[in-house]
């Protein structure tokens, strides 16, 4: 079966079989992966894909596919839900002047990205990930969507062992933690100390560099607890180097340059 045909079939499956509402908790039957696939040699994460260094639009499928070709830890994307229940990849709550949560996907898809792509669907990203033989992970930021639908989709496509979850929403994170995925869920807002985040079941924290400027001790505190520490969004080379040397995962718009720097520092 060709990659294009697989994409069409899976997209049709989800558009027909999933309602615009989240599934009931008892309907979700997902086995937690026993082995995670990841590039442990790198702590570099491409912010919204490898867009800046490749000339592709942010959060486009093309930018994600470019990131898959890099020897990095992962590539981040933002997920929202349309009026008719489709999970789309978009940072803002609006797209082409339309509110995503109040607009059906057929309408949204009529407005193309700068490279000619329609607004990407999450399942397109997941299928691309499933066909990739590398170890680059997909970091899914939950903006506004059904956790149940998202988990079912990731599981059905068979890439649950290659994704991480991040969100500013404690409610969405709590739902992930409740299903047993706290070990791969990181909180974004910077309002929880490592101790509090650990006690709530998070596997790590993903805070802005401004937060770590205020609470620099949180990095070692979290790492000493066995938590992952991520920082967003860092583009200055000296700051990238500083975080990498401290064992922090760096989300950046220049993943290629950051990976080169990581190799130069012999941090692999």
- Output the pLDDT for position 28: 81
Burial class (CB in 10 A: 0-12, 13-18, 19+), 21: exposed
Report the predicted TM-score, pTM, of the whole model to 2 decimal places: 0.90
- Measured between alpha carbons, how far apart are the two ends of the chain, in Å? 37
Rounded average pLDDT per 10-residue block, the chain, 268 residues: 42 39 57 94 97 98 98 98 98 98 98 98 98 98 97 98 98 96 97 98 98 98 98 98 98 98 83
- Report the pLDDT value the prediction gives residue 267, as an integer from 0 to 100: 61
Distance, in Å, from the CA atom of 87 to the CA atom of 255, rounded to the nearest integer, reads 26
Residue 249 CA to residue 98 CA, distance in Å, equals 34
Half-sphere exposure at residue 204, Cβ-oriented, CA atoms within 13 angstroms: 20
**CA dist., res. 235 & res. 238, Å (int):** 9
What pLDDT does 29 receive? 86
Handedness of CA 142, 93, 16, 170 (dihedral sign): positive
């Amino acid at each position: 079966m060709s990659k294009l045909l697989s994409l069409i079939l899976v997209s049709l499956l989800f558009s027909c079989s999933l309602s615009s509402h989240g599934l009931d908790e008892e309907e979700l039957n997902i086995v937690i992966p026993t082995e995670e696939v990841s590039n442990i040699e790198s702590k570099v994460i491409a912010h919204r894909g490898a867009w800046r260094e490749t000339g592709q639009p942010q959060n486009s499928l093309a930018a994600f596919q470019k990131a898959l070709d890099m020897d990095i830890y992962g590539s981040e994307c933002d997920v929202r839900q349309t009026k008719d229940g489709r999970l789309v990849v978009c940072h803002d709550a609006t797209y082409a002047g339309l509110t995503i949560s109040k607009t059906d996907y057929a309408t949204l898809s009529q407005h193309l990205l700068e490279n000619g792509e329609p607004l990407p669907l999450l399942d397109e990203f997941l299928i691309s990930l499933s066909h990739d033989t590398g170890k680059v992970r997909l970091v899914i930021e939950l903006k506004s969507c059904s956790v149940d639908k998202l988990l079912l989709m990731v599981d059905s496509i068979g890439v649950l062992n290659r994704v991480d979850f991040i969100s500013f929403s404690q409610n969405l994170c709590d739902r992930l933690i409740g299903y047993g995925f706290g070990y791969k869920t990181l909180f974004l807002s910077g309002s929880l100390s490592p101790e509090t985040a650990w006690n709530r079941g998070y596997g790590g924290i993903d805070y802005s560099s401004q937060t770590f400027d205020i609470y620099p001790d949180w990095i070692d505190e979290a790492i000493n607890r066995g938590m992952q520490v991520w920082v967003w969004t860092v583009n200055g080379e000296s700051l990238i180097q500083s975080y990498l040397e401290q064992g922090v995962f760096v989300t950046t718009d220049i993943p290629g340059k950051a990976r080169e720097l990581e190799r130069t520092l012999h941090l692999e």
